[in-house]
Structure 1
Amino acid sequence: MLMRSDPNRLLDAAAFYESLRGRRATHLVTERLKALLPDPARKRILGLGYAQPFLAHWPGLASAGWVGSARLKTSMTQRPPRLPDADWMRRDCIVASDCLPFDDLSLDVILVVHGLELAGQAPLLRAAWKALADDGVMILVVPNRSGFWAHDDSTPFGYGTPYSAGQLDRLLARAMFRAEQTATVLAVPPPILRLGKRTAGFIDRIGCVAGRRLGGLHLVVARKDLYAGLPLQPEKATLPLPRQVADMAHARRCSMREHS
């Protein structure tokens, strides 16, 4: 059964990522994420939700212009993770999902993990849209509704509202984002991770070949769609020829009356 977010029952995310299953899940996800992550050099990067384990494995992150992380008040644990010390770990804050404490257009990349499924959809995406620069990107890691991980509440991915591929695409479009790249990962069921890294990796690669439907997590790189909110110019309707002649005749009669 799919489960809603319950802060009182939510598994401590830090404890999961410190466990054997958590470390192997992190390895599989980061291996797939590497192909989607942009070059962090001179970029302002924010990890939103609980992205610390994945930020810690982002190649070249030390060259970024600014890196921070923000945990959501409604769902994230208060316990800090035990990760190697880094400057960006000291720039950590807890925020409301609908109000990010960053200036408009101030961020280049937002990595969202354990965020979208646990927070309000529209408020979170709207806040991210405002904080991103015009050429900024948002990278989402979201549980797949039809995958194994969304149905296992022994992991942080088993809480909140998972999404199918179509639901996620429509949600992003309504929030004025355009999905540029998509991938899937963790097609392997959670218990299989205990069998070994190679076995889990092999099964995961086979499952992910089937596409976004069988993967445990959706990986999406979305860019701001600056033209999504602009109204379309109404096209001039093509009138039938008799109607055009009648309208022209009427306009000519009105013009003659004005000059008489």
Structure 2
Amino acid sequence: MSARPLVTQNATFQISPFDEEQVVAALLDRTPPLDAGRPHLIVTPNMNHLARLQASAPLGAAYDRADMILADGWPVVRLANSLGAQITGRATGSGIVRRLADTPGEGRTIFLVGGSTPQATDTAAARFRSNGWLVETEHAPIGWLDDTANIDELAGRIAASQASIVLLGVGSPKQEILGATLLDAPGVTATMLGIGASIDFLAGHTRRAPEWMQRLGIEWLHRIITDPARLLRRYAGDVVPFVRVARQSRRFRPSPPEGATLS
């Protein structure tokens, strides 16, 4: 029996059973489901994404168009497995970015969008360039993506660069909605990946939780300690919507195929 999906108010989906190494291989070689010749979108749900999917129709529309949906948070892994999936671990945006930066680019073009400061964006770009990647960047300061003319300009630059990968580090849900918009941009054949604060992590401007905290599934605690004013309230506010998503998912029963009879 196949696993039941995660069910939110605005999207119903399965978690893709790929680990970070497999995702990077698919990105580099453009193997299914990220085959060459057309654009793709990867999203990485955590508890906050599930909470947002209870209220945001535009984010749900982006999820509906994603080719890979990877569990970024341990609660999402555990919920998916409770529904019958066999997810062995997280596949995080920051982990994928680090693996890409440590892999020889061999002349491939990657496009970085975001970063908390221009310096963080430039430092992350230099890390990629040092390993043989061709890099284009757009810092996209706060408010820049609210102008559709800027989004059109960005799409044109991505198409002209022939980038194979676009890393969108402008925060959720903006990065997922932007990624879905870029799927329809003329000439864009890249895979778009929402990566949150990963540009800052790669640049060393923000520190990820230690490996032992990541293994224990308490990276959230490290983030609260480092930024309590912003994250404590957010994480606390995600709990009730997450519980509701878990209940909705466990109660979900797919409709029978049209024309099927119930025995």
When you count strand as a share of all residues, which structure comes out higher? 1
Which is greater in Rg? Answer: 1
Higher relative contact order (CA 8 A, sep 6+): 2
